[in-house]
Copies of this chain bind each other. A is one copy, B any other.
């Protein structure tokens, strides 16, 4: 079984609210189906969740009642985004089941403190493809917080002992500089837990969930527990399928010490 993160930037145009890249979504789902692998899917917020979460400063936790509207709007937007993804899986003959993150996760200071993974496990065992997503969730100390899809895949990996963790993004992997800005940016093909602190990351300041650095930190934690992951560019046809099948594919591997 594979835990698969579908990045928000992969499936939406972050510059335009509520925009979905239907062709990419369609192909991504078809590659999952063709791989024949069983997956648990987690998707990001993209142009649905991120802009509203940022506008209402939801990453800072609850500090005024005005934010409650921001939470309601973010949750509503994420539910609609999730519906679009679920429907694509259904239309391709799969059996997706949406699992609302905010109903099974509670955080404490932005880290998951309670995770009702039994729900995911049971739906998966029946043959469904669970589809979770990064979202605003309850936080025991902050009122609420943003639980990123990246944090979710860490928790899922710990519980479900996957063969692999695949992060499908819109870039080839981790670079030393932002590859969207710099032509001489170099792809880092492998990051081991030993050299995680030496890797130079660039920061994406607009990303309310912390961008590439927090992603790698989450994955490094995972590698510590022995679960390796790979970041690939799913915009390039065939890469996702190859990654799911465990074939050699361009990307960045984050590996443990084993």
Contact = CB atoms under 8 A, between A and B. Distances in A.
A68 interface: yes
B73 A90 contact: yes
Given A82-B79, A100-B98, A90 B119 contact: no
A75 interface: yes
A56 to B, nearest CB: 12
Interface string A22-64: 0000000000000000000000000000000000000000100
A180 interface: no
Contacts of A106: 118-119, 122
Nearest to A104: B103
Contact of A68 (B104, B128, B144): B128
Count identical subunits in the complex: 2
Contacts of A94: 72
Interface residues of A, number: 39
Contacts of A71: 95, 97, 128
A176 interface: no
A258 interface: no
23 contacts: A65-B127, A68-B95, A68-B126, A68-B128, A69-B90, A69-B95, A71-B95, A71-B128, A72-B97, A75-B98, A76-B86, A76-B96, A79-B82, A83-B83, A97-B102, A98-B100, A99-B100, A99-B102, A100-B103, A102-B119, A103-B119, A106-B119, A126-B144
